[in-house]
Chain A
Amino acid sequence: MILKYSCIDMASDYCPCYLAETGDCVICSILRGQNNCDCRWQGICIFQEFLWNGKKKASSRKMIKAEIVDKKIFTDNLFIFTLKLPKDVHTIYFSQAGTYVFVKSQNSPDFYEVPLCVMDFDEENNLLVFAVQLLGPKTKALFKENKNVVLRGPYYNGIFGLKYIKSSFNRNCLLVGRGIGQASLILVAKSLKRGYNKILAVLNPGSLSYNIAKEILFKEGISVKEVNDECYEEIILEDNYDLIYSAGADFQHNFIYDVIKRNNLKAELAISNNAQICCGEGVCGSCAVNLNGEKIRLCKMQLEGKKILEEGLL
C-alpha cells in the first residue's frame, strides 16, 4: 500500500521549494531523479512549475520585522504577546487553522527562532497573537524582548488531518486543548464556525495554571467546558461527534484515539503536530521520521492523524 500523504505547500506561493532544487521533492518522482513520472498527484505538475520557473524554487518565506504592541504575563512560565505586522504583510496569510511561524528577538542569532502557532489574528488592525510557554533558552530569550521581533512564515502544517477541519460543514465537533496546545484551538474554532458546525471546546490547563483560549473562545460564542483531569472519555461519549481535534501532548492524542477505537466511534480525528521543528522547509531534518524506509518530513507532509498515531510517528 502506498502511504497516503501530501505536501502542505504544494501549489502554494512557495512551491516548488528548496526540496525541488535539491532533488528531494516530496511529491514528484522526476524531481527526485527517477526516470519515470509517478507522482502523488494533487492537481498540479510540480516538475512543470519548476521548469517554468527557470529550474529554480519559487519565492521563499521572508524575514519580517514586527513590533510587539502588547505583552501580557500570566504566570512565571506563560506570556501572550501581540505583533503588529508591517503594512505589506497581511494577516490573511496567517489565518488558516494550523498556521505556525518562527519568531526570535530582533538581536538574537537565527538559531534562536521559536516555532509558534498563530493563536489569533485581527485582520482590521493587522495583528497576530501568540502564546508562549517558557521552556528553554529560545523561549526565555524571546520573553526578554519587549520591542521588535523577527518573524519567518507562514507555515501551514501545524495540524495533521487538516482536511477534516477544512471540509467540515454542519457537523458536530469537539475540540480538546491542554496546556499550551490550547493556542491552536482558536483558528480551528473560527474555521469550523464558518462551516456552521456545532462546537464544544474542552480546556484543560495542564502544566499551566491558566486556560489561555477561554476568553477568545467565549468572545467567538463557542461553548467551553473547563476540566482539570483527563475525563475525556465521558465527554466524548456524551454526544455523537463527527470530528475531534486534539491539541496537546502525544499522550492526549493517543488517549483520545484509543477512546474512538474502543467505542467504535465514527469520529474523524485531527491532532496538533508535536514534532520538533526547526526550519519548517524540510531541509534541517529535525522533524524527519522513518516510516517503512521512507523519510517523512513532518514539517511539510500532511498525513491522517490516525495514521500518525498508529505508526507511532510522534
Chain B
Amino acid sequence: MIRVVIIGGGWAGCGAAVAARKAGAEVIIIEKTDMLLGCGLLGGIMRNNGRFTAAEEAIEMGGGELFEIADKTARHVKIDFPGHKHATLYDVTKIEPQIRRFLKEIGVEIKFIKRAVDVEMKKNTIKGIILDDGKKISGDVFIETTGSSGPMGNCLKYGNGCGMCIQRCPAFGPRVSISQKAGVNDLVGKRAPDLYGAMSGSCEINKDSLSDDLKKKLDEEGVIVLKLPEELINREKLSMKVCQQYALNEYAENIVLLDTGHVKLMSPYFNLEDLRKIDGFENVMYEGPYAASRGNSIRYMSMAPRDNFMKVVGVENLFCAGEKSGPFVGHTEAIVTGLVAGHNAVRKAANKNLIQLPLSTAIGDIVYYVNQEIKKTDGLYKRFTFAGSIYFERMKQLGLYTIDKKQISERIHKEGLTGFFEKKVL
C-alpha cells in the first residue's frame, strides 16, 4: 500500500489527509504540537465572500467533510462585517476534537508532539522524515504543510518578538522547512524591500472578560463594529497585516469583533491598557496570543516553489499545501490546496498522471494564478484569498464568484469532477 506522510497537522495537512486517504493510501500526519488545526485553532472565519464558492466546489468534488464539520460547529452563519458578506464563524473551542475524531475514523494515523527536523534523501527523492528524537518515518510520498509562520527567531527578527501564540514554539520547538532540508530554496514573502514576512492579523479576547452587554450582543449577532477613539487609531498596523482582505480603513478606525467562541479582534496586536479604555472592555484579557499587547506571529517566511499539481519543484516526491505552497491566507485556502496536494500525492506514488483542476473552478484558478503571480517581481508582496483583495476581485471579474449552490454544482458537473476526490486512485 502507498504510504503518504504529511508533515504538519494544520488545516492544509488535514485537507491533504482527507484527500490522500480517500484516494486509497495509508496516511500519517506528523504534528509538532498536541493539537491539530495549527493557527486554525484561533481562526474561525469561513464562507465569507469567495470562500463560499470554494467551499461548495470542494463539497461538490467530494472533499467537503472538513467544511461540513466547520458548518456543524458554527456559532453564526450568514453574517456580514466590513468588506465581507455571508461569513460562517466556527467555534474554535469545539472544532479541534471533532476534526481529530473524524480523521481517526477514516483511518488517518496522527503522531502528536513529534517534530520533523530533517529528511533522508536518495538523489531527488525523499526516503524518510527524521524526527527530533532521531527516529525516521519512511514513506512513498510526502506532503509538507508546515505553514510559513514562526519560529520565534523570525518573530523576533521581523516582528515584535514572540507573542506566545497558539504554535507554542518555546514548548514544542520550531517549525522546520522540510523542502529547504530537501535542498529547495524557500521563497520569502515581503512587506517592504528590506522587510520580510507579514504579521498574523487578529488576536483573541476571552469572551467572559467583556462586559455583559457586549457579550450578549456578540452571542446574538456574531459581530460588533465599534468606533475607536481617535487617539487609539493606528493605521500603520494595516500594512503589517497578512490579511489584506481585512487591511481596510474600517479596520483601523473601528474595532471589529467576531464571535468565534473566543472573541476575534481584527487587529494583529493591541496594547491591553489601551484596549481597556474602550467601553465594555474594562476587564478584557487575551486568549491568544497571550502577549497580544506586544505582537503576533510572523508568517510567509518559508514558501516552497511548486507546480500547479502542488508538487514542490526539484523534489520528486514532495508536495505542499496551505501557506507552504504560496502566500495564501485562510483556512479555506489551506483546505482546498491540501485536497489537491493529497490527491496528486497518491497519483504520483501510483505512477498515474497528475491532475490540475480546471481554471473554470475557483480552486483550480487560484492554484494556477498564485503560481503565476509570485513569479513576478512584486509577487512576493502579494497575498491571496478567496475572501478579498486582488484575488476576490479576479473571481468577480471572471465570473467565478457565486453563492448559488446549483450553479456551482453544474460548474463542477460540467467538468466531470462531481465526487472527484471520492474516487480511489489505487
Contact = CB atoms under 8 A, between A and B. Distances in A.
Contacts of B150: 37
A28 B153 contact: yes
A36 interface: yes
Interface string A2-13: 101000000000
Contact of A44 (B154, B170, B186): B170
A39 to B, nearest CB: 6
B117 interface: yes
B176 interface: yes
Contact of A35 (B134, B173, B188): B188
Interface in B155-197: 156-157, 161-162, 169-170, 173-174, 176-177, 180-181, 186, 188, 196
A41 B173 CA distance: 7
Interface residues of B, number: 28
A47 B156 contact: yes
Nearest to A44: B170
Nearest to B118: A2
A30 B130 contact: no
B149 to A, nearest CB: 11
A134 interface: no
A210 B7 CA distance: 58
Interface string A23-57: 00000111000011111010111011001000000
A1 interface: yes
Nearest to B154: A37
B152 interface: yes
Contacts of A43: 170, 173
A51 to B, nearest CB: 6
A37 B134 contact: no
Contacts of B188: 35-36
Contacts of B174: 37-39, 41
A165 B180 CA distance: 35
Categorize the interface residue count of chain A. 10 to 19
Contact of B162 (A2, A28, A48): A48
B338 interface: no
A38 B177 contact: yes
Interface in B115-151: 117-118, 120, 130, 132, 134, 150-151
Contacts of B151: 37, 39, 41, 45
Interface in B26-53: none
A47 B153 contact: yes
A47 B157 contact: yes
Contacts of B162: 45, 48
Contact of A38 (B161, B176, B196): B176
B152 A37 contact: yes
B301 interface: yes
A48 B162 CA distance: 8
B302 interface: yes
Most chain B C-beta atoms within 10 Å of own C-beta, residue among A37, A38, A43, A45: A37
Contacts of A30: 153, 156-157
A87 B155 CA distance: 43
B248 to A, nearest CB: 30
Nearest to A2: B118
Contacts of A36: 153-154, 177, 186, 188, 301-302
Given A36-B188, A36-B302, A4 B152 contact: no
B180 A35 contact: no
A30 B197 CA distance: 15
A41 B161 CA distance: 17
Nearest 3 A-B pairs (CB), nearest first? A37-B153, A37-B154, A37-B151
Given A38-B174, A41-B174, A47-B152, 4 more contacts: A2-B130, A4-B134, A38-B176, A43-B173
